[in-house]
Amino acid sequence: AQSVAQPEDQVNVAEGNPLTVKCTYSVSGNPYLFWYVQYPNRGLQFLLKYITGDNLVKGSYGFEAEFNKSQTSFHLKKPSALVSDSALYFCAVRGPNQGGKLIFGQGTELSVKP
Amino acid sequence: DSGVTQTPKHLITATGQRVTLRCSPRSGDLSVYWYQQSLDQGLQFLIQYYNGEERAKGNILERFSAQQFPDLHSELNLSSLELGDSALYFCASSPRYRDEQFFGPGTRLTVL
């Protein structure tokens, strides 16, 4: 069965510092991996995806993620956090032959303080 | 704005009732997905339609059903509502040959 784990419910970072939001996954076969962000009272916004190719994926708003097959991880990173990055972040996985079904992690609340 | 629209934004109803949630995908997107977001279950995939046909199914209750119409809009029908059905219901769409899904703003359902 496919699953996604986001081990941290909350991540606190000072503005200007680098941030990492962790994600590990379990899937049979090659994974399709995604990061989404949710602002209060809004829908999810797509940030980036990994399908194949370079393990470092760049996305929207300066975010990037590193795919690590041996550790089955797909951590979200940003070199310099902004207060406006404060939001709820979701990692998601899609396995092969699953149509478009996304399995989401429980989400990580990112708080960036000035 | 993702281009996916959902109506209504809020819905308050009583146990045992039936409601219909509506979704209009982005122009040209053939796939529509429904998700449920609740505090205890998180974000759960319910069902996917592609060009009118069911493509994938998640843990969707038998009391719930969905369909996609020829104009590609979709409806999610929830019947015999229970308190536990209170949640945010999201619709998403994706274009052909793209993997990312674009989410609508959601419908917040409150069952009293």
Is the separation of the CB atoms in A99 and B56 below 8 Å?
A: yes
Per CB-CB distance under 8 Å, the chain B contacts of A65 are none
Query: Is pLDDT of A98 > 80?
Result: no
Contact B56 A100 (CB under 8 A): yes
Burial class (CB in 10 A: 0-12, 13-18, 19+), B53: exposed
| Nearest by CB: A98 against B4, B56, B106 | B56
φ/ψ (deg, to 5) at B8: -80, 175
Query: Is pLDDT of B109 > 80?
Result: yes
- The pLDDT score that the predictor gives to residue A26 is 93
A92 min Cα distance to partner chain B (Å) = 10
Contact residues of A toward B, CB < 8 A: 32, 34, 36, 42-46, 49, 51, 90, 94, 98-107
What is the mean pLDDT of the segment spanning A63-89?
Answer: 97
Count of alpha carbons within 13 angstroms of residue A32, beta-carbon side? 14
What is the mean pLDDT of the segment spanning B2-23?
Answer: 97
B4 min Cα distance to partner chain A (Å) = 10
- The pLDDT score that the predictor gives to residue A53 is 87
Secondary structure element (H or E) that encloses residue A88, with its range: strand A87-94
Distance CA A71, CA A16 (A): 28
Contact A43 B31 (CB under 8 A): no
A43 min Cα distance to partner chain B (Å) = 4
B85: helix, strand or coil = helix
- The pLDDT score that the predictor gives to residue A99 is 79
Distance CA A3, CA B99 (A): 18
Q: How many residues does the structure list for chain B?
A: 112
Which two three-digit tokens encode residue A56? 């470092």
Distance CA A45, CA A1 (A): 26
Reported confidence tier of residue B8, pLDDT bands at 50, 70, 90: very high
